[in-house]
Amino acid sequence: MADDTVRKRLNVCVTGADGWYGFNVCYGILTGNNRHLVTQLICGVCHTDNRFVSWLEDQGATIFRYSLGCTSEFAEVLTETDAVVLCPPIITDDNDHVQREWAKNLGTSKPTTENTKDRDKSGQSEEAPLVAMWAAFLMAIECARIRRVVMMSVVNLDQVGFNPELPMPRLTELRMLELMFQHGFLRHAPKHRWVVRQTLALEHLYLYQRSIQRDQKLLLPIEQALFNPVTMMDVGDALVVLLMGKHRWGGKSLGDGVDLDMDSDSDTDDDVSVTGEVSKAGKLAMKKRVKMCCFTGRNVVSGAAIACYASEALGTTVRYHPVSSEESMEMLKQYPDITRPEMELLLEQYQMIKFGFMSLLTRDLERKLTRKPRGVSEFFGQNREDFKPEEL
């Protein structure tokens, strides 16, 4: 592990960079205002044959391919790394149904790298691939003695699963990984750990780029619900600030979030309270506390409002048309680099928007940026060439 008491710039590793969500974290870091503070970005991937990985290579990122049982190799890569950002790896093998059953049967017990493993008589692990890979990540981080680790998650994740008529297996998987991150380190837990929960990023609108350009239509399955989107450039900048800690700000901290196992009066209380109760089921020792930040955007908007902002920035009329989840899935299938699990995860986040779980408003992102986050209008203004109608 690099000496974080001396280094003023970071070597950062991001997992799941071959997937839509992990790639967006890398994109935010590489294109943000704090890019100069990152010496090297190491992108962990399961697959190298997609456009995400090609773009990251073109931007000078270092690509590391991992697989199940990769603990020692991954730990070696992390030896000269200052910080890790954990995004779920992309698992697309035939055992995905096992993962679904595992998530569906998630109970009140705490998943860890020990008690998530069931071994048959031959000693082979029968755990689901996603769980096995996540456990390998945690073990590699311990072996490399990484001191600063962030896990990316979704706001109000604790609300998932309370409606039996509306199962959300992908978000349930993410909640399971979050619990593993809290409780799964064995002896050498990182000194600084954060769960960064965020609202849906505006960059997901790139998945509907064709309909905006060709038909001037914004097609989203959120009806008239409101949500508070972020931009990944802001998230990337804030992550760098969070991981730099006091060394970026002359020994002063801008606030590292709230403890998951403590009551708090911060702006993130609405999102922390349930998590706090979960963690109290197994009180974390002082040295093992996990802090949480909730990154939310500048504007609470509807689909129609996003279309209005797009119209103003693009100089044309973009109309919002609510669509069904099935129609949205068909549109997402046009993008070969987006896996089905990622499509399902996005659709479940749309469901959270319709339930009102993505309208949370905090100042966590603003505190890290020391400015207001970018709004929807700024997003379209900065990316006008990507969304402007074809005839313009």
The pLDDT tens digits of the residues spanning 186-217 come to 888 999 999 999 999 999 999 999 999 999 99
The answer to whether residue 118 scores a pLDDT higher than 80 is no
The answer to whether residue 178 scores a pLDDT higher than 50 is yes
Q: Are 355 and 226 in contact (CB under 8 A)?
A: no
What percentage of the chain carries pLDDT values higher than 90?
Answer: 65
Check residue 7 and give its pLDDT. Answer: 52
Q: Are 358 and 155 in contact (CB under 8 A)?
A: yes
User: Residue 215: CB partners within 8 Å, gap ≥ 6?
Assistant: none
The pLDDT tens digits of the residues spanning 347-377 come to 999 999 999 999 999 999 999 999 999 999 9
Structural domains in the chain? Answer: 10-387 (3.40.50.720)
Q: Is 67 helix (H, G, I), strand (E, B) or coil?
A: coil
Check residue 34 and give its pLDDT. Answer: 95
Eight-state DSSP code of residue 159: G
Q: What angle do CA 108, 111, 112 make, to 5 degrees?
A: 150
Q: Where are the alpha helices (DSSP H) in the chain?
A: 20-31, 51-58, 71-78, 96-104, 129-144, 169-183, 209-215, 232-244, 269-280, 303-314, 325-332, 340-354, 364-369, 376-382, 384-387
Q: What angle do CA 80, 86, 87 make, to 5 degrees?
A: 135
291-295 vs 258-259, strand pairing mode: antiparallel
- CA dihedral over 294, 295, 297, 302, signed as positive or negative: negative
Eight-state DSSP code of residue 36: G
What percentage of the chain carries pLDDT values higher than 70?
Answer: 77
The answer to whether residue 287 scores a pLDDT higher than 50 is no
Q: Which two tokens stand for residue 19?
A: 């997937």
Beta bridge partners of 41: 12
Amino acid at 375: G
Report the alpha-carbon distance of residue 236 to residue 31 in Å, rounded: 8
SS in 3 state form for 192-259? EEEEEEECCEHHHHHHHHHHHHHHCEEEECCCCCCECCECHHHHHHHHHHHHHHHHCCCCCCCCCCEE
Q: Which two tokens stand for residue 175?
A: 């909640």
pTM: 0.83
Q: Which residue is listed with tokens 């074809």?
A: 390
pLDDT tier at 70 (50, 70, 90 boundaries)?
A: confident
Q: Are 196 and 295 in contact (CB under 8 A)?
A: yes
Q: Are 288 and 185 in contact (CB under 8 A)?
A: yes
User: Residue 111: CB partners within 8 Å, gap ≥ 6?
Assistant: 131, 176, 179, 180, 183, 184
The pLDDT tens digits of the residues spanning 297-331 come to 998 999 999 999 999 999 999 999 999 999 999 99
Residue whose C-alpha is closest to residue 220's, from 320, 319, 308: 320
Q: Are 37 and 240 in contact (CB under 8 A)?
A: yes
Report, as an integer, the average pLDDT of 272-300.
60
